[in-house]
Amino acid sequence: MKLIKTSTAGTMESNDIMITLEPREEGGISIDLTSNVMQQFGRQIENVIRETLTKNGVENAAVIAVDKGALDCTICARCCTAIFRAAESDAYEWEVKQNVR
Amino acid sequence: MYVKDRLRRSMMFVPGNNPGMIRDAHIYGADSIMFDLEDSVAYSEKDSARFLVYNALKTLHFGTKETVVRINDLGSGLGIKDLEAVVRAGVQVVRLPKTDSAQDVIDCEREIERIEREAGIPVGSTGMMAAIESANGVLNAAEIAKASKRLIGVALGAEDYVTDLKTTRSDGIELLFARSMILNAARAAGIAALDTVYSDVNNEEGFVAEATLIKKLGFDGKSVINPRQIEPLHKVFMPAEKDLAKARAIMEAIAEANARGSGVASLKGKMIDKPVVTRAKRLLDLYEAGSKISEVEDD
């Protein structure tokens, strides 16, 4: 996934996370995370962000994340929104929920 | 997988781009949770809400609650994208807004079926409900309600409807024709009839009056926009003790007559007709279903 512009997704409201994604040519992924539950969940939040970027083929990007107590599904959703906005694409491959098939 | 016939006294709208409300939606006791991708989401955030509802449906558990998503209309270009996400995420019911004709339902069903096939989901797993929000839609209500086997119900969307009629919402007289049409269309098709929202959340008296009216008309339930409206709504739909006692007596009299091998039952000297039995059974079913859901929530 080729990122072509800086994007943001999410809000600063409780239970949400604001993700800013800046394209980079190289240097891998850097994550600057602020969270009011940093001590307990900081590593988990970073993992979700990193996994979502990797899964969507983003190899180089600078992420600024301000977390307000978001669940993993919210972090994933906001990351995906930021990625596809930065790539100016809507070709997301929606996956089927387990047990639905 | 959706359930065609179930308790739907309350369908609570939850804005699709609000993670906190989505997280807490199941705790308030509504029978159905309706995640909204349409009117409560700004145009610039449609993508964001779609990702959020998709991820929430895939990962959160909503207990005994029915999950519904109100998509954007197919003509907007957004509705198809919404379907691609929410059908794969396993939503139980898709609410189609602005349904003007049976063709709108058929078009939406065709897309749902295509997505189910492409995704390897059993065809027919996803239910639908149609919201009627225009004069055309009301006049076509009977055809709309019979347009798909997937339909679990038809609903009135009053705000757009009164605008189309060139009036405003007042004491409810302006909605009488639409409500009657939608209710009769639903009953003729054997599906649920669901009433519109009551927007003034601070006016509980007005809300209860409207809920009482739609229950009298025969509606199965109503959309709500605030958790505060759920309890008063369920109270309106809860059968009164004297009605329950009468219904139980009717069913006992029927059981006794059956045990005697008699085809005719009577109670206090009056013969019990078939519609009386049907109403008594429906009342007891409603009470039992309401009690069961309360027990699950208490656990």
Chain B interface test: which of A17, A72, A73, A78 (most B C-beta within 10 Å): A73
For helices B230-237 and B274-298, the axis angle rounded to 10 degrees is: 150
| Segment A25-78, tens digit of pLDDT | 999 999 999 999 999 999 999 999 999 999 999 999 999 999 999 999 999 999
By CA distance, what is B126's nearest residue in A?
A100
Number of helices (H) and strands (E) in chain A: give both, helices first.
Answer: 2, 4
> Which two structure tokens, joined as six digits, stand for B141?
């209500």
Please name the residue that has the structure tokens 């409603």: B286
Q: CB contact, 8 Å: B88 with chain A?
A: yes
The span from the first CA to the last CA of chain A, in angstroms, equals 28
Number of helices (H) and strands (E) in chain B: give both, helices first.
Answer: 12, 10
Q: What is the pLDDT of residue B294?
A: 56
d(CA B201, CA B153) in angstroms, rounded, equals 25
Q: What is the pLDDT of residue B299?
A: 46
Q: Is residue A26 part of a domain?
A: yes
Query: Taking the CB of residue B69, how many other CB atoms lie within 10 A of it?
Result: 27
Nearest to A96 among B47, B56, B121 (CB): B121
Query: The CATH number of the domain where A28 resides is what?
Result: 3.30.230.10
Instruction: Tell me the residue ranges of DSSP E strands in chain B.
Output: 10-15, 32-36, 66-70, 93-96, 127-132, 151-156, 192-195, 221-224, 266-267, 270-271
Measured between beta carbons, the chain B residues lying within 8 angstroms of A71 are 19, 23, 59-60
* Residues 118-147 (B) with a CB less than 8 A from some CB of A: 119-122, 125
Nearest to B88 among A9, A74, A96 (CB): A96
d(CA B293, CA B288) in angstroms, rounded, equals 9
| Under 8 Å between Cβ of B151 and B129 | yes
Task: Note down pLDDT in tens along chain B; length 299 residues.
Answer: 888 888 999 999 999 999 999 999 999 999 999 999 999 999 999 999 999 999 999 999 998 899 999 999 999 999 999 999 999 999 999 999 999 999 999 999 999 999 999 999 999 999 999 999 999 999 999 999 999 999 999 999 999 999 999 999 998 999 999 999 999 999 999 999 999 999 999 999 999 999 999 999 999 999 999 999 999 999 999 888 899 999 999 999 999 888 888 878 888 888 898 889 988 988 888 888 777 655 555 44
Q: Is residue A98 part of a domain?
A: no
Interior angle at CA B39, CA A16 and CA B164, nearest 5: 170
d(CA A71, CA B56) in angstroms, rounded, equals 9
Q: CB contact, 8 Å: B4 with chain A?
A: no
In angstroms and rounded to an integer, the radius of gyration of the C-alpha atoms of chain A is 13
| Segment B211-259, tens digit of pLDDT | 999 999 999 999 999 999 999 999 999 888 899 999 999 999 999 888 8
Q: Is residue A32 part of a domain?
A: yes
ipTM: 0.97
Measured between beta carbons, the chain A residues lying within 8 angstroms of B122 are 101
Q: Is residue A1 part of a domain?
A: no
Q: CB contact, 8 Å: B89 with chain A?
A: yes
d(CA B152, CA B27) in angstroms, rounded, equals 24
| A98 has pLDDT over 60 | yes
Do B52 and A77 make contact, defined as CB atoms within 8 angstroms? yes
Segments forming the whole domain that contains residue A18: 7-86
Distances (CA, A) of A54 to A50, A80, B47, B108: 6, 11, 20, 34
| Under 8 Å between Cβ of B34 and B69 | yes
Q: Is residue A97 part of a domain?
A: no
| Under 8 Å between Cβ of B49 and B17 | yes
| Under 8 Å between Cβ of A51 and A45 | no
Q: Is residue A42 part of a domain?
A: yes
Nearest to B90 among A13, A77, A100 (CB): A100
Total domains present in chain A: 1
Please name the residue that has the structure tokens 């991708």: B37
d(CA A77, CA B252) in angstroms, rounded, equals 55
